[in-house]
Amino acid sequence: MINVYLHGPHWFLGVDAALEALAGVIALLVAFASYKAWRLTGERKYGWFTVSISLLTVSFLSRALTDALLREVFIKLPERIAGLVFYAGYVTHIMLAFLGYIILIAITHKIHDRRIVALLFLTLVPSLLMSGSYYRTFYGLSLVFLAFITLAYYQNYKRVGNKASALVFEAFALLTAAQVQFLVQGFYILSTQAWNFLFVTAHVTQTLGFVFLLAALLRLKSAAARNPKVVCVQVVRLKRQV
Amino acid sequence: MKRAKIDIVYDMLKAIEEKGGRILPTHLLYKSNLSHQRMKIYLEELKQRKLIVETDHKGKMMFALTDEGRKFLQDFAKVKEFTEAFGL
- In chain B the domains, ranked by start, together with CATH numbers, are 5-83 (1.10.10.10)
Q: What is the pLDDT of residue A155?
A: 95
State the ipTM, two decimals.
0.77
Q: What is the pLDDT of residue A224?
A: 62
Q: How far apart are CA A237 and CA A230, in angstroms?
A: 10
In chain A, what is the straight-line distance between the N-terminal and C-terminal CA atoms, in Å?
Answer: 60
A226 pLDDT higher than 90: no
Split at pLDDT 50, 70, 90, the class of A5 is low
pLDDT in tens, A127-181: 777 777 777 888 999 999 999 999 999 999 999 888 999 999 999 999 999 999 9
Nearest to B77 among A41, A160, A231 (CB): A231
Angle between helices B25-32 and B5-18 in degrees, nearest 10: 130
Buried b / exposed e over B13-27, threshold 16 CB at 10 Å, is bbbbbebeebbebee
pTM, full prediction: 0.81
Q: How far apart are CA B52 and CA B50, in angstroms?
A: 5
Q: Is B49 an interface residue toward A (CB < 8 Å)?
A: no
Q: How far apart are CA A107 and CA A236, in angstroms?
A: 24
**Does the distance separating the beta carbons of A34 and B86 come in below 8 Å?**
yes
Low-confidence stretches of chain B (pLDDT beneath 50): none
Cα radius of gyration (chain B): 13
pLDDT in tens, A82-110: 788 888 888 889 989 999 999 999 999 99
Split at pLDDT 50, 70, 90, the class of A2 is very low
Is A149 within 8 Å of A108 (Cβ atoms)? yes
Strand order in the sheet with B52-57: B22-23, B60-65, B52-57
Give the residue ranges of DSSP H helices in chain A.
Answer: 15-41, 44-70, 79-108, 114-129, 134-160, 163-185, 192-226, 228-241
More confident residue, A72 or A201: A201
Q: Is B87 an interface residue toward A (CB < 8 Å)?
A: yes
Closest CA to A48 of A3, A119, A114, A140: A114
Q: Is A136 an interface residue toward B (CB < 8 Å)?
A: no
Look at residue A133 and give its three-state secondary structure: coil
Residue A150 has a CB neighbour count (10 Å cut-off) of: 21
